[in-house]
């Protein structure tokens, strides 16, 4: 059985290094290419006997099965066009994409398989499913707050995962997250609107990723929490997504599809 040929974008970043380690440990995968942006000090460095870090996206994707991308929105959009050209599937964990960029992914999924998820962790995606049940039961009389914490280097807030949690809750409750989300409170804010979903963000140290959804009622609180202690949880989920795409047709998928939770 031939091994799945994987290309990793942003290979010298925190997530990229973890992906390299996890691919090396997988019996059914092989590193096909490792990408960095033009001008990176890492270009030309050896990753394996057969792979050196390159900025030549076109050459890197030729003959590959899947690109795993946890980079920046502008980089992901560039990768998308070349993946479509070479019919290479994509696993996208990039956060901070605009509505227009998400639509571009959807258009690209007409030609290739794309798994796009704000969080590739198996545990977090189980959390998404649990929140559907919790929100249906706690739809009245409970104020909903989402608290997330990440390392000091994270550049977007709230995290893509926190927004994903909010979207699941809002959809279950029949609300529009764009209209009911509250992202900051300061000064005299007045009483809390019970129809809102609040977000609180913490940035500091080397926190990999903590997410808590708080349902605060009268006389009780329900807290559902996921804490990541290693980036390996996201990397292993991404590799699972790449395997899923190999066995499925072109289209837009998420981790709920990968894990069979729909």
pLDDT tens for each residue of 35-62: 999 989 999 999 998 999 999 999 999 9
Token pair, residue 80, equals 């998308």
Q: Give the pLDDT band (50/70/90) at residue 262.
A: confident
* Residue 203, helix vs strand vs coil: strand
- At 157, is the pLDDT very low, low, confident or very high (cuts 50, 70, 90)? very high
Domains and CATH numbers, the chain: 4-120+231-258 (3.40.50.720), 122-228 (3.30.360.10)
Q: Look at phi and psi of residue 190 and say left if phi exceeds 0, alpha if psi is from -120 to 50, else beta.
A: left
Helix (H) or strand (E) holding 7: strand 4-8
Mean pLDDT computed over 73-77: 96
- Residue entry with tokens 């998420």: 254
pTM score over 0.85: no
- Give the separation between CA 49 and CA 47, rounded to whole angstroms: 7
Cα(209)–Cα(225) distance, integer angstroms: 11
Q: How many alpha carbons fall within 13 Å on the CB side of residue 209? A: 21
List residues with catalytic annotation. 150, 154
């Amino acid at each position: 059985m031939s091994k799945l040929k994987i290309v990793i974008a942003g290979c010298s970043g925190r997530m990229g290094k973890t992906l390299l380690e996890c691919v090396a440990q997988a019996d059914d995968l092989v590193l096909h290419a490792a990408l960095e942006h033009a001008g990176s000090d890492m270009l030309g460095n050896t990753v394996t006997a057969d792979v050196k870090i390159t900025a030549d996206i076109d050459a890197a994707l030729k003959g590959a099965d899947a690109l795993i991308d946890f980079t920046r929105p502008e980089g992901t959009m560039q990768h998308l066009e070349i993946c479509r050209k070479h019919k290479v599937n994509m696993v996208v964990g990039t956060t901070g994409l605009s509505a227009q960029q998400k639509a571009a992914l959807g258009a690209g999924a007409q030609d290739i398989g794309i798994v796009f998820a704000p969080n590739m962790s198996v545990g977090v995606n189980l959390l998404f499913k649990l929140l559907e049940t919790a929100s249906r039961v706690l739809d009245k009389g409970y104020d909903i707050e989402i608290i997330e914490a990440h390392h000091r280097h994270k550049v977007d807030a709230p995290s893509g995962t926190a927004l994903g949690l909010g979207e699941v809750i809002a959809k279950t409750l029949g609300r529009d997250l764009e209209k009911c989300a509250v992202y900051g409170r300061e000064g005299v804010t007045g009483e809390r609107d019970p129809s809102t979903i609040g977000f609180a963000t913490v940035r500091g140290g080397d926190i990999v990723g903590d997410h808590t959804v708080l349902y605060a009622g009268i006389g009780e609180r329900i807290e559902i929490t996921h804490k990541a202690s290693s980036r390996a949880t996201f990397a292993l989920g991404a590799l699972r997504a790449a395997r899923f795409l190999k066995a499925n047709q072109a289209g837009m998928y998420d981790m709920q599809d990968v894990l069979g939770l729909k």
